[in-house]
Structure 1
Amino acid sequence: MKHDGSRKIHLFLLLVIIAVFIWSAIKPASYLTWALEVSPAVVGLIIVITIYYRFRFTTLSYVIMAVLAILMFIGGHYIYSKVPLFDWIKDTYDLKRNHYDRFGHLLKGLFAIVLREILLRKTPLTKGTWLFAIVVSMSLAIAALYEIIEWLVSKISKGGEASKNFLGIQGDIWDTQWDMLYSLTGSIVALLIFSKLHDKLLKKEIRTSNAQH
């Protein structure tokens, strides 16, 4: 029954993601920018659905993936630098930029939990300092790779409007460094806060998987 309950939660998360995706695709600020922003989440979603019955993540990991997908769909719909709530925060507190992009990179640090789960279940690594260090390093590497992809898109499109929106620099020459720093910080905080809960959920998931086989 517990397993059925988990599947219902996973299905609910999937339906929420699909609903937000459909909303994001309706009259976005720019269809090209939208496609660039949401494509990583869509590809990730397809992979996760495809392997669901072969490798089922913990519900915590699925919640994190859902949050990150929704984050990208919202950013793709409005353009990260023009998300209304963060425009309001910018105006209210007289900030120099819309911080949705920064907020997004901080939350992307949550993906460290998903990486932690893959390593614990698919490699000889065990809980401890080395696992923490490797997960944080992988999170930073992914953040750096994403920045390289943004740079390549900008070069290929020769600095067009879509690439400028995709980059979302907002006049900050250190934007790339700030993005990676926020992702790094987010991954460290995520591991410190959620690792114990993750361990408990991992035990339940592994026990359920073993019982099925």
Structure 2
Amino acid sequence: MILLTLFTIGCGHLTKIFIKTNIKFSHNPLLQLILVVFLAFWGILAISPTDRTQWLLENILLVLVILVLCITYRKYKLSNLSYLLIFVFLCLHTYAAHYTYQGTPIDQWLKSVIHTRRSYFDRFVHMMFGLLWFYPIRELLTRITGLRMFWSLITTISFILSLGAVFEIIEMLVAILAGQTGQDYMGLQGDVFDSEKDMALSLIGAIISSFILAIIFRKRKYHSLHLAKGMAKQKLNPNTNK
């Protein structure tokens, strides 16, 4: 019983660490660790990338994302869980930028195993975009708009789909302006529906995250109602536990 109680308290403490917002950076060791690990990871993979030009193109958006997060941090601090999810996505992107999205070691291994010419890591990252960015974007939208539950999930899905479309437009413009390097950056690999498939995978990732959050919200609501009923019953019958 004592171990169970300690475990419950520990889980509750960890939940507060990950979910709580408005923590000052100087008082947030987890966020400090996330930042240090990412900078170290990025710095190592910035050394001798496979294609320096493509690496620079891939890092433009990454730098913009980090700048936006830093500039808005004082006014819109996200939870550590949001920053952790963003960290995972940026690590995936940094890894792909080093090798190029068409030449990652994972893709080389897959090609030898399933005998395909297609590189699938870029598709995986597009799906992870919807899956990993869903929670941070929803957290920000609910804080700004006040949306809750169902509409917050639907709005976030729509927002991620819109971001995916904007990114594909940016890729198209880069391909037009940068010539062959831009075409390599797009990574069509002979698939005329590559952009549509990328957006579809981002949408699928967002929908999966929305279902996970919906289940969590439902369970949390059930436990809250159950706890409230128990407390009300105890107030009505204060001698039942004696």
Smaller-chain TM-score bracket: 0.7 to 0.9
The 5 A counterparts of 1:81-96 are 81-96=102-117
**Match in the other structure for 1:115:** 137
Which residue, out of 174, 181, 184, partners 1:165? 184
Is 1:192 the counterpart of 2:211? The answer is yes
- Structure-2 change in CA distance of 1:102 and 1:6 (3 Å): farther
Cα distance, 1:6 vs. partner? 7.5
Which residue, out of 178, 185, 197, partners 1:178? 197
Q: Is the 1:6–1:59 contact (alpha carbons within 8 Å) kept by the matching residues of 2?
A: no
Q: Is the 1:80–1:165 contact (alpha carbons within 8 Å) kept by the matching residues of 2?
A: no
Cα distance, 1:37 vs. partner? 0.8
The 5 A counterparts of 1:18-29 are 18-29=39-50
Which residue, out of 114, 126, 135, partners 2:148? 126
Cα distance, 1:115 vs. partner? 1.3
C-alpha distance after superposition, 1:140-193 (max 9, x if no partner): 010011000000011112x32x21221011111111111000000001111222
Which residue, out of 71, 76, 88, partners 1:50? 71
Q: Which has the higher contact order (CA 8 A, sep 6+)?
A: 1
**Match in the other structure for 1:204:** none
Give the aligned length: 196
Which residue, out of 59, 65, 79, partners 2:86? 65
Bigger Cα displacement from structure 2, 104-113 vs 162-171: 162-171
Query: TM-score normalised to the size of structure 2?
Result: 0.75
Give ranges in structure 1 of 5+ residues lacking alignment: 201-213
| Rg comparison, structure with higher value | 2
| Identity level (%) | 30
**Match in the other structure for 2:158:** 137
Cα distance, 1:24 vs. partner? 2.1
Query: TM-score normalised to the size of structure 1?
Result: 0.84
Cα distance, 1:55 vs. partner? 2.0
Cα distance, 1:122 vs. partner? 1.1
**Match in the other structure for 1:203:** none
Instruction: Give secondary structure in 2 for the equivalent of 1:81.
Output: coil
Letter in 1 for 2:67: I
Q: CA RMSD in A?
A: 2.2
Letter in 2 for 1:172: D
The 2-side partners of 1:41 and 1:67 are apart by 13
Letter in 2 for 1:145: V
Instruction: Give secondary structure in 1 for the equivalent of 2:78.
Output: coil
Q: Is the 1:29–1:79 contact (alpha carbons within 8 Å) kept by the matching residues of 2?
A: yes
Cα distance, 1:74 vs. partner? 1.0
